[in-house]
Structure 1
Amino acid sequence: MVNAATLGAETSSVLTDHVGGLLHAVDRITLAVFAVEIGLRLYVHRGAFFKDPWNHFDTVVVVIALVPAAGPASILRALRILRALRLISAVPSMRRVVSALLEAIPGMVSIIGLLALVMYVSAVLATELFGETAPGHFAELPISLFTLFQMMTGDSWADITRQVMAERPWAWVFFIGYILTSTFVVLNLFIAVVVNAMDEQTTSTEEQHTDDRLTVMLSEIVRLHAKIDAVLAAQAVPAGPDRDRPEGHVEAGLSP
């Protein structure tokens, strides 16, 4: 968090003029801490370090920050802000959300394909129908695709629709059908897939915690049984002179 705040403060010319040296020093210190941390984790976990995808993520982010920001590589200086994304790997709740999003990708691919198909068909129709009426929005296929994407996000769709309807009054049929299909159907499918993935991730996490608690309880029960068996065995086979005592004799104060 300190690193993210420092990188944000360095974008301010006022702060850079007054405390630029301090900000740069804090940035170097945090980068050194990150590098040492990665080195220690690699030393401790050895080969197991590379089995965790989050370790790959942290390593790439730190390595990018270590690239000298000079010459052709100066563009990489802006990528230092990626270090702020290490919060994702550090906060368990954020990790669960990102894991759920990654698990939702296979289901989202089909929805993305459906959305692309709807936009392509609609863009071809819009270019043919409204290219001459509103050339600024539907002159060619790429322009139509951008306009329909803009309308899907809800940006200025009413202005574009009214401009076309001024000459084509029936155009509302096309635009309402497109907005209903793309925005209220396809985009809500995205939400449904992501929510379902997050619900499965939460359920899986709760089941894992339950299994861990059961494992601890079973281990404790086994330990207690072993302790009881040891006590009973010690009472059943007394040491030294006590071996001559009759069977079934119980030392005073002891119970089976």
Structure 2
Amino acid sequence: MENFTRPAALKDKTLPGLRGKAAAFVEHSKFVKFIAYLILFNAVVLGVQASKFSSEDFDTFITIVDYIVITIFCIEIGLKIFAYRLHFWRDGWNIFDFVIVAVSLIPSSGTLSVLRTFRVLRLLRLISVVPQMRRVINALLSAIPGMASVFAVILVLLYVAAVLVTQIFGEHPDEMMQELFGTLGHSLFTVFQLMTLEDWPNDVAKPTMEFFPWSWLFFIPFIVVASFMVLNLFIGVIVDALNVIQADDMEDENKKLKREIRELRKEIISLHELIRAHFPESPKPKKRSTAKTKK
């Protein structure tokens, strides 16, 4: 299984001494699962602590549990900093974890006490702990350029549609038409509502068709293009980014497997040479004839 905890610069390196032991401890699959379960448990604790139904004694117990949890998180971060040294700060996920844990250490009183409410952000640490979540976030980040292009297409489409409906429907003196299409700003909001399909038949289409019966010739093509085609491009871009991330992960796994096979072959060859050096081959015995003697 690929190690998502260690920084990329240390993936193939063996850390010496106590650093190696600390890294092996925080990178062990059981410890990673323990942290994931602890994050979920802490989220439940924070939810109970925020409720209005808990008693004073129970609040004290919850506070103690919260302190124990944050202590474990601090130990985890400390071990990672000790093991990875400066490489810890070169990994975005480690910095993310450090900031989330640091916010939890803010005193509960004073001017910064309001930041204690951000302790619930500890639940976001699941993203850095669970590999599948990290893949999704990495895919979203890598899809930003493509999503920006799709977003630009949507803006152009909305602007063109808003100008058209303002000039066509906004000329009508009816109060409803002025509210929907009277200005460019109103028209932008209306076509955005059409794109999101938010109650567009009752709020937009039917009032407009009372004055412009042919307006469906604009609404239906716009909805088909904006909602069913352009917006689905977002999904396509994200899915493509996920496939790229998955392909990269598989390629890394294949490289790691090939490297392990090469190292295993070298060990087998060295072991074979060692055996031959300590146990030299003895003379081969002569083969016995299998032919039967004739009587």
Structure 2: which amino acid aligns with 1:173?
L
Structure 2: which amino acid aligns with 1:154?
L
- Change in Cα spacing, 1:150 to 1:10, as seen in structure 2 (3 Å) is farther
Structure 1 residue 71: Cα displacement: 6.0
1:239 corresponding residue in structure 2: none
1:209 is aligned to 2:253: yes
Range that drifts further, 35-44 or 108-117: 35-44
Structure 1 residue 63: Cα displacement: 2.2
Structure 2: which amino acid aligns with 1:147?
T
Cα distance in 2 between the residues matched to 1:124 and 1:21: 61
2:42 corresponding residue in structure 1: 3
Structure 1 residue 74: Cα displacement: 5.0
Structure 1 residue 152: Cα displacement: 1.9
Range that drifts further, 166-175 or 31-40: 31-40
- Change in Cα spacing, 1:126 to 1:95, as seen in structure 2 (3 Å) is same
Cα distance in 2 between the residues matched to 1:17 and 1:126: 61
User: 1:198 aligns to what SS in structure 2?
Assistant: helix
Structure 2: which amino acid aligns with 1:99?
N
TM-score by length of 2: 0.72
Cα distance in 2 between the residues matched to 1:14 and 1:235: 78
1:88 corresponding residue in structure 2: 127
Match of 2:181 among 113, 130, 138: 138
Is the Cα contact below 8 Å between 1:10 and 1:16 reproduced in 2?
no
Higher percent of residues as helix: 1
2:83 corresponding residue in structure 1: 44
Alpha-carbon displacement from aligned partner over 1:130-156 (angstroms, at most 9, x marks no partner): 345433333433333333323322211
Q: Which runs of 5+ in 2 are unaligned?
A: 1-39, 286-295
1:56 is aligned to 2:95: yes
Match of 2:192 among 146, 149, 156: 149
- Change in Cα spacing, 1:156 to 1:69, as seen in structure 2 (3 Å) is farther
Match of 1:250 among 245, 268, 282: 282
Structure 1 residue 113: Cα displacement: 0.9
- Change in Cα spacing, 1:74 to 1:231, as seen in structure 2 (3 Å) is closer
1:153-164 equivalence runs, <5 A: 153-159=196-202, 160-164=204-208
User: 1:231 aligns to what SS in structure 2?
Assistant: helix
Cα distance in 2 between the residues matched to 1:69 and 1:125: 55
Structure 1 residue 45: Cα displacement: 1.0
1:240 corresponding residue in structure 2: none
Cα distance in 1 between the residues matched to 2:71 and 2:266: 47
State the number of aligned residues.
Answer: 241
Is the Cα contact below 8 Å between 1:127 and 1:141 reproduced in 2?
yes
Cα distance in 2 between the residues matched to 1:209 and 1:163: 59
Cα-Cα RMSD:
2.5
- Change in Cα spacing, 1:204 to 1:141, as seen in structure 2 (3 Å) is same
Identical pairs, percent: 37
1:107 is aligned to 2:151: no
- Change in Cα spacing, 1:18 to 1:118, as seen in structure 2 (3 Å) is farther
- Change in Cα spacing, 1:72 to 1:123, as seen in structure 2 (3 Å) is farther
Cα distance in 1 between the residues matched to 2:169 and 2:112: 46
Structure 1 residue 226: Cα displacement: 1.2
Is the Cα contact below 8 Å between 2:135 and 2:245 reproduced in 1?
yes
Range that drifts further, 145-154 or 65-74: 65-74
Alpha-carbon displacement from aligned partner over 1:28-73 (angstroms, at most 9, x marks no partner): 3322322232122112211111122110111122223333455664
- Change in Cα spacing, 1:68 to 1:94, as seen in structure 2 (3 Å) is same
Cα distance in 1 between the residues matched to 2:130 and 2:137: 11
Cα distance in 1 between the residues matched to 2:83 and 2:105: 22
Structure 2: which amino acid aligns with 1:136?
E
Is the Cα contact below 8 Å between 1:61 and 1:83 reproduced in 2?
yes
Q: Which runs of 5+ in 1 are unaligned?
A: 237-248
Structure 1 residue 196: Cα displacement: 0.9
1:33 is aligned to 2:72: yes
Structure 2: which amino acid aligns with 1:166?
E
Structure 1 residue 252: Cα displacement: 8.6
